[in-house]
Amino acid sequence: MATNTVSETAEGLSLRQSRPRYGEKIIRFILALAAFVSIFTTFGIVISLLIPSIEFFMEVPITDFLFGTVWTPLFKNGEFGVIPLLSGTIVITLIAIAVAIPLGLGASIYLSEYASERVRKVLKPTLEVLAGIPTVVFGFFALEFLTQAILIKIFPEIEVFNALSAGLIMGVMIIPTIASLSEDAMAAVPSGLRDGAYALGSSKRQTAIKVVMPAALSGIVAAFVLGISRAIGETMIVTIAAGLQPQLSFNPLMGMQTMTSYIAAAGSGDLATGSIEYKSIFAVGMLLFLLTFLMNIFSIRLVRRFRQAYQ
């Protein structure tokens, strides 16, 4: 057999490409272009953030920016300490996490381990619809309904714009992200592991918590990170419901400004291009970008490790 093939080739059986395949090359180019668009955009964003940020840091020392506790960009001799914006972001994100992680994880365990096929088929898409509601709707819901109709009765001293309502509603907003991705991770756990757990006399709860969840852990953590990134980057809800007062406070009943709502508010105002206030938008944007970028890298790593676990 083998010698036969060799001799045929030697006798001139041509294995070279018989005609050029231009279509193939064009398709390949278009597909590559599609893949590179997002990379180019990311680079574009980084560069457009970087230049004004560098200009900003030539006027405001980076240590003043990172460690300063007063943010008054619109005052004469305004101060640019980003800590109040950072604390606002952190407080609201923590409230959102406190809502979204238990509920999202609970929903995902229910969907993947307890719900019947029929219930899951209805419930999962319904939950995912939540993710499709525009955030501006969530924002008004937080301000008009949650604060005015509920929170004010529980905490009479609450401010109209407050971190609590924004955080709670933001938590609700990211539940679908966390629930849906965690459910995917748990559904990907081989059923043999569940059988193994049940065969050792585990209850449903023990199987879900001691075998399925640890097996899906990196996928679940990646879902958390993605949900948290969304919370950090969320703008509309906080702008509407938490107000625009940059204050260094951990009292969730007070109004707060986050990095995103500062960017949105300042960016839509009439700041003179090239002014220091204008450049501060980019510095804050840069910080926000770096924070979410680091979180995403972290989650990609986790997801990769999660895939490796089952080869």
Partner 1 sequence: MNQPNEITMHLDHALSARGASIPPETSDPVFTLDNVSVYYSDYEAIRNVTLPIGRNEITAFIGPSGCGKSTLLRSFNRMNDLIPGAHLKGTVAYHGTDIYGPNVDPIEVRRKVGMVFQKPNVFPKSIYENVAYGPKVNGTKGNLDDLVEECLTRAALWNEVKDDLKKSAYALSGGQQQRLVIARCIAVKPEVILMDEPCASLDPLATAKIEDLMVELASEYTIIIVTHNMQQAARVSDRTAFFTAELDENEIRHGRLVEFGRTRELFSSPTDPRTEDYISGRFG
> Contact residues for partner 1 (CB under 8 A)?
116-117, 190, 192-203, 206, 210-211, 214-215, 309
d(CA 21, CA 26): 9
- CA-closest candidate to residue 309, choices 193, 210, 164: 193
Question: Cβ(138)–Cβ(237) under 8 Å?
Answer: yes
Angle in degrees, CA 278, 64, 84, rounded to 5: 75
Q: Which is nearer to partner 1, 177 or 207 (CB)?
A: 207
Widest pairwise Cα distance in the chain? 95
Q: Smallest distance from the beta carbon of 275 to partner 1, in angstroms?
A: 56
Q: Which structure tokens are listed for 57?
A: 């840091």
Q: Which two tokens stand for residue 37?
A: 């668009």
Question: CB of 262: closest distance to partner 1 in angstroms?
Answer: 44
Residue 139 Cβ vs partner 1, minimum distance, rounded to whole Å: 41
Residue 35 or 199: which CB sits closer to partner 1?
Answer: 199
- Least Å distance between CB 201 and partner 1? 4
Calculate the alpha carbon distances from 53 to 8, 45, 79, 289 in Å: 67, 12, 16, 12
Smallest gap from residue 122 Cβ to partner 1 (A): 16
Q: Which is nearer to partner 1, 124 or 230 (CB)?
A: 124
Collapsing DSSP states into helix, strand and coil, what is residue 249? Answer: coil
Q: Nearer to partner 1 by C-beta: 102 or 214?
A: 214
Q: Which is nearer to partner 1, 211 or 222 (CB)?
A: 211
